[in-house]
Amino acid sequence: MTLTPGTRLGQYELLEQLGAGGMGAVYKAHDPTLQRTVAIKVLHEESRSQETGVRMSSARLLQEARAASALDHPNICTVYEVGEHEGQHFIVMAYVEGKPLSALIPADGLPPESVIRYGTQIADALAHAHARGIVHRDLKSQNVVITPEGRAKVLDFGLAARMPQADAEAVTKTQEAIPHAGMLVGTLAYMAPEVLRGEAATARSDIWALGVLLYEMASGRLPFAGDTAFDVAAAIAKDAPSPVSSRVPVGFRAIVQHCLAKAPRERYAQVGEVRAALEAIQSDTAVAQPAGVRPAGTTRTWRMVGATAGLVVVAGVIGYWLRPEPQTAASGVPRLANPVQITSAVGIERGVAWSPDGQMLAYESDQTGNWDIWVAQPGGSPPVNRTADHAGADRSPAWSPDGRQIAFLSDRDNAGDVFVMSPLGGTPRKVGAFSAAADFLLWLNGGSELAALVNPEGPDVIAEILTVRTGELRRVALPGRTANRIELRWSPDERHVAYADANSWNAQVKQLWLLQARDGTATALSDGMTEDGSPSWSPD
């Protein structure tokens, strides 16, 4: 069926073609019934003509458009209905006046206030969709329209076609082997590494694409470039992104770097965390100020934004609070009590573990391009990388009860390997291995055992306990309603285990559970109707 201005698809009259992508063409159209202008996305003829393409593409189009039609958010383009006319499937959406974000980004990037405003709105749209089980899968600057009022509208939720397995495998081989390369390049620059490997897109894949978009808005270019599709794919899979413009603050760079972590589990757990970090940078008073102190002005520049980011973005720095009691300003808003900045490196710093005497801390950081264990002494010498000998991932540091060793997880031999080392340096020593990839490492039984969550992203997540002297493993089942367990915390007397039960790391709903370690019985501590996570035991 040839589509030209004046062609009718059901009740709709096509007015003009607005654009085309890998899955379909978009037209401006008129709805005579409701007397309104709409946008209509029509499946490409060439996509429909491929073997089994009609059935798979149309079924997916119907299914996902219906899912996307449930989204009702000011930053999401509304889907009105799905239709079919003479075998041609189409989706009717709201017609959004404005310009694509891609057309508004200058060579040196947008002004900082625009980057933060649009980034926050886009993150808000993603959070709304993720909470309803919908992943975008094709977020890019061309799929965001900026209205004349300055509002970002995200298009095509859930409608982007996932790269076929054959295409994903070809991208990792040679340029000549890429089927339909021209169809892939449009979105290739925004694809997460796991999607390029042929894995299903997830909410964390959207977070990667949001990181690319933030980078693009701030710098006017994409973080991963190349002359061919193969070059771009190789850069995404292996290379660190080229530096963002030096005029952006450390805090903003930390947000982007966190979004662009190669491993999905190393990114933000939820897109709402990205939104919160952006809002913190946006606010002149993100860290509450003492009573009587007024901001010097309201004009936002990257210089001013950078001054606040060093205090409020946890991914960029680690703070040491000298007084445990939070102070409250005259307004009643809690504020930090005498924070002292310990680190200032660009990158993500997390997994903080304090030594038993409280004089040193260990943490994991990706500031060198891979995850390492760093040790710092507040008020002392600068932090030191204690696992620089390994080019892979070293994570989840845990101090031994006597403070003489730090245990950590490493992929030096296998994903579940456990090593120990002196906090003062030296060659790490392997003491055993969990049966699969693990997280939330901690010591038990006076330092004779190590425990961790194994396979924390499911489907068979358990707690494993490793006897350090013999390497023997024993398993502890963690009951729950879903396939995932996260945030493992043992009680100080080691008789109970608290953990969170959730459908995924991105879940908006989590349920807290308490396990009796001796008999394996478990009790739900929360109703599972809200996001209840991050359990922590008091010393007693």
pLDDT digit string, tens, across residues 86-128: 878 888 999 999 999 999 999 999 998 899 999 999 999 999 8
Q: Assess whether pLDDT exceeds 80 at residue 221.
A: yes
Res 288: pLDDT: 33
Res 316: pLDDT: 35
- Those residues with Cβ within 8 angstroms of residue 356's Cβ, 6 or more apart along the chain or in another chain: 399, 401, 402, 403
Q: Assess whether pLDDT exceeds 70 at residue 305.
A: no
pLDDT tens-digit series, residues 312-324: 333 333 443 333 3
**What is the rounded distance in angstroms from the CA atom of residue 308 to the CA atom of residue 238?**
32
pLDDT tens-digit series, residues 472-500: 888 877 766 555 566 677 777 777 777 77
pLDDT tens-digit series, residues 263-278: 998 899 899 889 988 8
Q: Assess whether pLDDT exceeds 70 at residue 413.
A: yes
CATH topology of domain 8-94: Phosphorylase Kinase; domain 1 (3.30.200)
Q: Assess whether pLDDT exceeds 70 at residue 325.
A: no
Angle at 482 between CA 480 and CA 487, to 5 degrees: 70
pLDDT tens-digit series, residues 12-43: 999 999 887 666 788 999 999 889 999 998 87
pLDDT tens-digit series, residues 48-72: 434 333 344 455 666 666 777 778 8
Res 180: pLDDT: 35
DSSP 61-89: HHHHHHHHTT---TTBPPEEEEEEETTEE
To the nearest whole number, what is the mean pLDDT of the chain? 76
What residue ranges of the chain are covered by domains with CATH 3.30.200.20?
Answer: 8-94
With tokens 């946006």, the residue in question is 282
Res 484: pLDDT: 59
Of the candidates 473, 462, 467, 466, the residue with the CA atom closest to the CA atom of residue 499: 462
Phi, psi values for residue 377, rounded to 5°: -125, 105
**What is the rounded distance in angstroms from the CA atom of residue 31 to the CA atom of residue 13?**
7
CATH topology of domain 99-280: Transferase(Phosphotransferase); domain 1 (1.10.510)
Angle at 307 between CA 301 and CA 311, to 5 degrees: 135
Confidence (pTM): 0.52
What residue ranges of the chain are covered by domains with CATH 1.10.510.10?
Answer: 99-280
Q: Virtual CA dihedral for 87, 93, 97, 101, nearest 10 degrees?
A: -90
Res 431: pLDDT: 92
Is the pLDDT higher at 463 or at 74? Answer: 74
Share of the chain above pLDDT 70, in %: 70
138 is catalytic: yes
CB 22 within 8 A of CB 37: no
Is the pLDDT higher at 212 or at 33? Answer: 212
What confidence tier does 506 reach under pLDDT thresholds 50, 70, 90?
low
Q: Which of 138, 167, 206, 501 is catalytic?
A: 138
Q: Assess whether pLDDT exceeds 90 at residue 436.
A: no
